[in-house]
Chains A and B, each alone.
Chain A
Amino acid sequence: KQEVTQIPAALSVPEGENLVLNCSFTDSAIYNLQWFRQDPGKGLTSLLLIQSSQREQTSGRLNASLDKSSGRSTLYIAASQPGDSATYLCAVDSSNTGKLIFGQGTTLQVKP
């Protein structure tokens, strides 16, 4: 059974710092992995989608990497801003059906 774990559960950094969020999954047989952002009481915004054949994806200040063999993904946020404060979730699709298994999330606070 696929399990997704995110470390740390919470993170607080000063504005301008570069940071890395970690995601690990137990079964390397995945089709894709997605990183999402969730603001309190709100829905999810997809940030980056990495297909199983890809190693990384970049969007602006965000870079996500995928090492399928080791069951790990990282989300790198460069030059963090207070507006980046949110909960970040990673999720894997192990069945290519769109059914996602989510990690518990990392709640990020960027202090001005």
Chain B
Amino acid sequence: GAVVSQHPSRVICKSGTSVKIECRSLDFQATTMFWYRQFPKKSLMLMATSNEGSKATYEQGVEKDKFLINHASLTLSTLTVTSAHPEDSSFYICSAPGPRSNEKLFFGSGTQLSVL
């Protein structure tokens, strides 16, 4: 079946640094990918929709300059957390629709970001 690969799985960084998270569709093309974040013991909240070849669509309240999304190819979307601060510490996870219509979504394994 379709697989979405996400890495790194865990990142620990100092405050002020930028962190890039990659999300790849391994055996199918994804013109759209979704980025979510999840705080401890909370549900997933959609951050943005990544669109291949065009600008991402951000949900209300999500800072575009803080969370840079690039979808340069049909198999890769990246989320860069710029100038990370401790409050950005969270679990980030991407998803992509499967190659067939009405197919379920496939999720990456997630990235646990800890900002010191």
Chain B contacts for A91, CB-based, 8 A? 44
* Interface of B toward A, CB cutoff 8 Å: 6, 32, 34, 36, 42-46, 49, 91, 93, 95-97, 102-110, 112
CB distance from A71 to the nearest CB of B (A): 17
Q: Which residue of B lies closest to A89 (CB)?
A: B43
Whether B112 and A100, one on each chain, are in contact in the complex, defined by CB atoms closer than 8 angstroms, is: no
- Given the known inter-chain contacts A98-B95, A102-B44, please indicate yes or no for A51 contacting B106, CB distance below 8 A: no
Partner pick for A102 among B43, B102, B110, B112, CB 8 A cutoff: B43
CB distance from B112 to the nearest CB of A (A): 6
Contacts A34-B104, A91-B44 known; 11 new A-B pairs at CB < 8 A: A41-B91, A42-B110, A43-B93, A43-B107, A43-B110, A44-B93, A46-B104, A89-B43, A98-B95, A101-B46, A105-B43
3 nearest A-B pairs in the assembled complex, by CB-CB distance: A43-B109, A44-B107, A49-B104
Main secondary structure of the interface of B (DSSP, over half): strand
- Alpha-carbon distance between A100 and B105 when the two chains are bound, in angstroms: 9
Whether B6 and A43, one on each chain, are in contact in the complex, defined by CB atoms closer than 8 angstroms, is: yes
- Alpha-carbon distance between A102 and B91 when the two chains are bound, in angstroms: 15
Q: Which residue of B lies closest to A9 (CB)?
A: B41
User: Digit string of A71-112 for contact with B (CB within 8 Å is 1, else 0)?
Assistant: 000000000000000000101000001111111110000000
